[in-house]
């Protein structure tokens, strides 16, 4: 399917950063138009994993954002569980290496085939956007953030991964080295009318889509809005205009 054939609702992922399922559920019920929700470590642990099943029962698709990073066998087994729980998208750290990523993809495909369900998108985290150059140098990555993002993206693509999580500002450099249908999921998105919060290098939904983002992860501009449904509709409208 070409880029513009995907509907805006197939591109927006609302981040459910809540300490309890009951809070997340309230928000989900306010947003009938939204198809995709992101469950991260906080909600996953707070709900003892239940958030995923509950979202599936509500007919929603889940981006399971647990960023696996361990030895290949352990990550492969975790990937099997991500598929079994019905994640549509899940992620692992590219820093776990080629073998770890290859095994995550293979395990996810095998489990999906066994269950007769669609294989989820298996996505790599490159360099966390919380890093600055000094922080990365400290880890021994002398080549800097941009080069590291590029290397991790290439490695992820070579390992059979479906795409990466990246800052909207990194889209161009990833598109330059990876195949055209390599998926890019972008957090750090802020509509012009929303508060910036603690995000630093932000981009509007319009700009991120125009740059070539496949999915946008939006949290507080929707979840903390006085009228979350109206906020989500405004973001969807902006995505539609940009396509």
Active site residues: 67
Q: Where in 31-60 is the site for ligand C5P (CB under 6 A)? A: 40
Q: Where in 72-131 is the site for ligand C5P (CB under 6 A)? A: 128-129
Tokens for 65, please give them.
């954002």
Tokens for 41, please give them.
């470590």
The DSSP code sequence of 170-238 is GHHHHHHHS-TT-EEEE--B--TTS--TT--S-B-HHHHHHHT-SEEEE-HHHHTSSSHHHHHHHHHHH
The reply on whether position 219 binds ligand C5P by CB under 6 A is yes
Q: Which of 47, 85, 199, 204 binds ligand C5P (CB under 6 A)?
A: 199
Give which of 26, 52, 49 is closest to 223, Cα–Cα.
Answer: 26
Q: Which of 124, 171, 217, 231 binds ligand C5P (CB under 6 A)?
A: 217
Give which of 61, 118, 64, 126 is closest to 90, Cα–Cα.
Answer: 64
The reply on whether position 15 binds ligand C5P by CB under 6 A is yes
Per CB under 6 A, which region of 70-78, 101-109, 156-164, 212-220 contacts ligand C5P? 212-220
Count of residues of this chain found to bind ligand C5P when the rule CB under 6 A is applied: 15
Exposed/middle/buried for residue 4 (C-beta within 10 Å: 0-12, 13-18, 19+): exposed
Asked whether 72 and 99 are in contact (CB, 8 A), the reply is: yes
Residue showing the smallest CB distance to ligand C5P in the complex: 219
The reply on whether position 168 binds ligand C5P by CB under 6 A is no
Exposed/middle/buried for residue 179 (C-beta within 10 Å: 0-12, 13-18, 19+): exposed
The reply on whether position 220 binds ligand C5P by CB under 6 A is yes
Least Å distance between CB 24 and ligand C5P? 12
Q: Where in 132-161 is the site for ligand C5P (CB under 6 A)? A: none
Residues forming contacts to ligand C5P in the complex (CB under 6 A) are: 15, 17, 40, 128-129, 165, 187-188, 197, 199, 217-221
């Amino acid at each position: 399917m070409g880029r513009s054939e995907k509907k805006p609702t197939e591109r927006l992922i609302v981040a459910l950063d809540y300490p309890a399922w009951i809070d997340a559920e309230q928000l989900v019920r306010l947003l009938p138009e939204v198809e995709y929700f992101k469950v991260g470590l906080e909600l996953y642990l707070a709900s003892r994993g239940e958030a995923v099943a509950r979202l599936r029962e509500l007919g929603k698709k889940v981006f399971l954002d647990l960023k696996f990073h361990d030895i290949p066998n352990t990550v492969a087994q975790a990937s099997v569980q991500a598929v079994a729980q019905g994640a549509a998208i899940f992620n692992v750290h590219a820093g776990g290496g080629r073998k770890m990523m290859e095994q995550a993809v293979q395990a996810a495909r095998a489990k999906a085939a066994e269950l007769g369900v669609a294989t989820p998108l298996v996505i790599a985290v490159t360099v966390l956007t919380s890093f600055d150059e000094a922080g990365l140098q400290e880890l021994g990555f002398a080549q800097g953030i941009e080069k590291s993002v590029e290397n991790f993206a290439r490695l992820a693509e070579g390992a059979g991964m479906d795409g990466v999580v990246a800052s909207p500002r990194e889209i161009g450099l990833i598109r330059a080295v990876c195949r055209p249908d390599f998926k890019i999921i972008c957090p750090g998105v802020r509509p012009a009318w929303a508060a910036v919060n603690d995000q630093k290098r932000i981009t509007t939904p319009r700009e991120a889509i125009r740059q070539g983002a496949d999915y946008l992860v939006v949290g507080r501009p929707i979840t903390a809005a006085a009228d979350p449904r109206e906020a989500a509709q405004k973001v969807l409208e902006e995505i539609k205009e940009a396509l």
